[in-house]
Amino acid sequence: MLEIRGLAASIDGKPILKGIDLVVPTGEVHAIMGPNGSGKSTLSYILAGREGYDVTGGEVRLDGVDLLTLAPEERAVAGLFLAFQYPVELPGVGNANFLRTALNATRRARGESELDAVQFLKLARAALRDLAMADDMLKRNVNVGFSGGEKKRNEVLQMAILKPKFAILDETDSGLDIDALKIVAGGVNTLRGPGFSALVITHYQRLLDHIVPDRVHVLAGGRILRSGGPELARALEESGYAALGLEAVGEDVAAIGAS
Amino acid sequence: MSATLAQTGLPSRKLEAWKYTDLRPLAALAPAAAPEIADIAALAADLPSFPGPRLVFVNGRRAASLSVPAPAGVITDLATGGDFAPFAPAPLAALNARLAQDGAAIHVPEGLDAGTLALVHLTIAEDAAPVFVHPRHRIALAAGATLTLVEYAGGRGVYWQNPVIEIMLAPGATLRHVRIQAEDRESFHTATIFVDLLAGARYDAFTLGLGARLARSECHARLGGAGAIAHLAAVQLLRGAQHGDITTVVAHDAPGCASRQTVKSVVDGRAHAVFQGRIEVARAAQKTDGYQMSQALLLSPDAEIDCKPELEIFADDVKCSHGATIGALDPEQLFYLRARGIPEAAARAMLVRAFLIDAIEAVSEAGARALLERAIDDWWEGAR
């Protein structure tokens, strides 16, 4: 279970998150939607532990563990996974070596034995097949020369191999055609079950047709202004944020939301 | 005591070629006689694990019992003193000429592909320090001959290893020269290499410098025959208060020759890296293709690099370029790795490896490459 209580954060003194309260029970998938600049990516980066943000209040717990005091790698081995909106290119780092190093770091932390190259390849090839990815993906340098869709699929491949307890998908649907979208959604749905939960950040309803969320939250101006079932996402798609009184971004939205 | 060494001709920083490397810590040492090693066989554990023929020198003396005979047809002999006439001024080579001890004379006859030969230097100065060693090697490849020479320098204690290597490549000869400098961190290592290339000859050098308190690798290559090729590649990994200097001078004296000087430096702690690269193109050397690149990764705020490219061109139809980059590890890349559970130290190591990979993959000989990989792994182990 992920519990976010009163999370407030700023960048260079400018408040971005202004008190987020959000609970994702184990086994559930929640979606966060919201206009540009509402703080969606900031939230995902803060959960993953990226530098450059000042957390000014609140707490985040994953199955009771205080995440905010942990280094990014400690959060990862505790079971948190961020699928990046903009996956980073690593020239000179082979994808197979990267994935195996990450998997073995995770396994070590769980007290499991490390996988050798042969065991890893077997596991990786199976994961590639499930995601309709070519085997040569493993030989290439991480994300280097990948198309937008390949980068996103590579994120889902990493998730499939690392098997996190909690995944954050930050606009994983952007840049995907409909076939790739289905594959990516399939990758997430495969992991769904009692030991997995996720936060899906997206602009669009169409991803949520394939990954049907248990709850939908609307984030604007650094606060969660609405929460509801999957029907909330459809309402947003049809009438836009304006119809919900969520037209503008920033201070104004917060004011509307508070009223 | 220091006056003694200074009088023998250590260059000072007033010399342009020594502006960035200060030998005063070396001048402060008073040499002791190199001790005889009673139990040479026990040093086998200090040898790099490298299969095949090898010539081993311990404290400057040939250690026949640790050596493995050279490939058939290759003549190896002791080189001593004699007619030394470097084609470029090099103060430490001149000093070596005055004090020279044993060295190897390696000759590969015409047309022979002699495979791989290792040349190993161990300096053991634990009991009587500091020990000064001035080996001098001569390597001659006759027309069309080929050799891969893997040179390794290591040791224990405070010492100064000051080798000079003279290389003559006859028309069409190819020498691949892999050098691993893994000296004790208290030691000094200064190497001067002269390479004379005749028409169509090729010299491919890769130097890895990761040991010594102060190190300099100085290579002078003269492309004296049409169509000769020289590639001087180097990687140096420095940390703590280490000082590492890569100096290369390529003289294009004949038309249609190509040269590459590519250096990668990884600098941590308060270490100081130097790269001085010079391309000289004589009036006759038309259609010269010269290229030089220095890339440095600074891992700490106190790490430092001085980079000095020099081009001196007298011909008018040439292609010569140089470049230099200096950077730090990319925080976005580091975060991406850590977000996948890879601890920070391991993530940094991965990114440094990625920075070096193309340089290391350019070393085609498998045994030499494995040795390089191990030396770099050991360096990382030592960093923790």
By C-alpha distance, the chain B residue nearest A48 is B339
Q: By the CB < 8 Å criterion, does A105 face chain B?
A: yes
Locus of tokens 């790099």: B48
DSSP3 helix / strand / coil % (chain B, rounded to 5): 20, 45, 35
Task: Label residue A65 exposed, middle or buried (CB < 10 Å: 0-12, 13-18, 19+).
Answer: middle
In a domain, B349, yes or no: no
Q: Is A69 exposed, middle or buried (0-12, 13-18, 19+ CB in 10 A)?
A: exposed
B189/B16 Cα distance (integer angstroms): 20
Q: What DSSP string describes A177-188?
A: -HHHHHHHHHHH
Q: How many residues does chain A have?
A: 259
CB contact under 8 A, B341 and A77: yes
Q: State whether A49 and B339 contact (CB < 8 Å).
A: yes
Are A71 and B338 inside 8 Å of each other by CB? Answer: yes
Residue B137 lies in a domain: yes
Query: Searching chain B, which residue's CA lies closest to the CA of residue A78?
Result: B341
Q: Write out the residue range of the structural domain in which residue B181 sits.
A: 2-329
Confidence band for A48, pLDDT divided at 50, 70 and 90: very high
Q: What is the pLDDT of residue B7?
A: 52
Q: Identify whether B130 is preceded by a cis peptide bond (ω within 30 of 0).
A: yes
Mutate which of A41, A73, A107, A156 to disrupt the B interface (most B C-beta within 10 Å)? Answer: A73
Residue B3 pLDDT more than 50?
A: no
Given CB atoms, is B342 within the 8 Å cutoff of chain A? yes
- B344 within domain boundaries: no
The total number of structural domains that make up chain A? 1
Per the domain annotation, does B103 fall within a domain? yes
Give the alpha-carbon dihedral of B337, B341, B345, B351, to 10 degrees: -20
A contact test, residue of B297, B340, B348, B352 with most A CBs within 10 A = B340
Cβ-Cβ contacts under 8 Å for B50 (sequence gap 6 or more): B118, B150, B152, B367, B368, B371
- Segment B337-351 shows an average pLDDT of 95
Region B345-360: what's the mean pLDDT?
92
Q: What whole-number distance in Å separates Cα of residue B98 and Cα of residue B88?
A: 16
| 3-class DSSP assignment, residue A95 | helix
CATH number at residue A199: 3.40.50.300
Chain A residues within 8 A of B349 when measuring between CB atoms: none
Q: Which residue of A has its CA nearest to B343?
A: A73
Q: How many domains, chain B?
A: 1
| Domain, as residue range, for A109 | 2-258
DSSP state, residue B68: B
C-beta atoms of B354 and A51 within 8 A: no
Scan for tokens 């594959």, then name that residue.
A183
Q: Which of A51, A75, A84 sits opposite B331 (nearest CB)?
A: A51
Q: What is the pLDDT of residues A197-208, one digit of tens each?
A: 999 999 888 899
Query: Count of CB atoms within 10 A of residue B247's CB?
Result: 23
Pairing outcome for strands A54-62 and A2-11: antiparallel
Please, what is the angle between helix A148-162 and helix A95-109, to 10°? 30
Residue of chain A with shortest Cα separation from B332 = A88
Cα separation, A143 vs B297, in Å, equals 22
- Out of B339, B350, B357, whose CB is closest to A101? B350
Share of chain A above pLDDT 70, in %: 93
Which residues make beta-bridge pairs with B152?
B120, B180
What is the identity of the amino acid at B18? W
CA distance A252 to chain B (A): 32
Alpha helices in chain A (DSSP H): 40-48, 72-77, 95-109, 117-130, 148-162, 178-191, 205-210, 230-243, 251-258
Residue with tokens 């007033």: B14
Residues of chain B contacting residue A105, judged by C-beta atoms under 8 Å apart: 340-343, 346
Chain A residue numbers with beta carbons less than 8 Å from the beta carbon of B351 are: 90, 93
State whether A50 and B340 contact (CB < 8 Å): no
Instruction: Measure in Å the smallest separation between the Cα of B153 and chain A Cα atoms.
Output: 28
Distance CA B68, CA A227 (A): 77
pLDDT at residue B88 in the model: 79
**What's the pLDDT band for B56 if we cut at 50, 70, 90?**
very high
Q: For residue A81, give the 3-state DSSP assignment.
A: strand
**Exposed, middle or buried: residue B294 (CB in 10 Å: 0-12, 13-18, 19+)?**
buried
Integer angstrom CA distances of residue B331 from A15, A73, B51: 23, 14, 41
Question: B198 in a domain, yes or no?
Answer: yes
Q: Answer yes or no: is B364 within a domain.
A: no
In this prediction, residue B252 has a pLDDT band, given cuts at 50, 70 and 90, of very high
The region of weakest confidence among A66-75, A155-164, A196-205, B121-130 is B121-130
Asked if residue B351 belongs to a domain, the reply is: no
Q: How far is CA A67 from the centre of its chain?
A: 15
Place of tokens 């020369």: A145
CB B318 within 8 A of CB B281: yes
Element (H, E) at B331: helix B331-338
User: What's the N-to-C CA distance of chain B in angstroms?
Assistant: 37
Q: What is the pLDDT of residues A98-134, one digit of tens each?
A: 999 999 999 999 899 999 999 999 999 999 998 888 8
- How far apart (Å, rounded) are the C-alpha atoms in residues B145 and B147? 7
DSSP B70: P
Q: Is the pLDDT of residue B367 over 50?
A: yes
Single-letter residue type at A109: A
Chain B residues close to A50, C-beta within 8 Å: 335, 339
Q: Is A24 helix (H, G, I), strand (E, B) or coil?
A: strand
Tokens of B125: 């100065």
| Amino acid letter, residue B57 | F
- Site from A77, A85, A93 to mutate, B interface, most B CB atoms within 10 angstroms: A93
Report pLDDT digits (tens) over A76-107: 999 999 999 999 999 999 999 999 999 999 99
**Tell me, what's the pLDDT at B2?**
39
Looking at the complex, does the CB of residue A146 fall below 8 Å from at least one CB of chain B? no
A50 touches chain B (CB under 8 A): yes
Residue B286 contacts A where some CB pair is shorter than 8 Å: no
Two tokens, residue B151:
């040179």
Contacts of A230 (CB under 8 A, 6+ apart): A208, A212, A213, A216
Does B354 touch chain A if contact means CB atoms closer than 8 Å?
yes
How wide is the angle at C-alpha B348 spanned by C-alphas B347 and B354, nearest 5°?
Answer: 90
d(CA B267, CA B235): 11
- How close are the terminal C-alpha atoms of chain A, in Å? 31
Which of B329, B332, B338 should one mutate to test binding to chain A, selecting the residue with the greatest count of A CBs within 10 A?
B338
B350/A73 CB distance under 8 A: no
For residue A93, list its beta bridge partners.
none
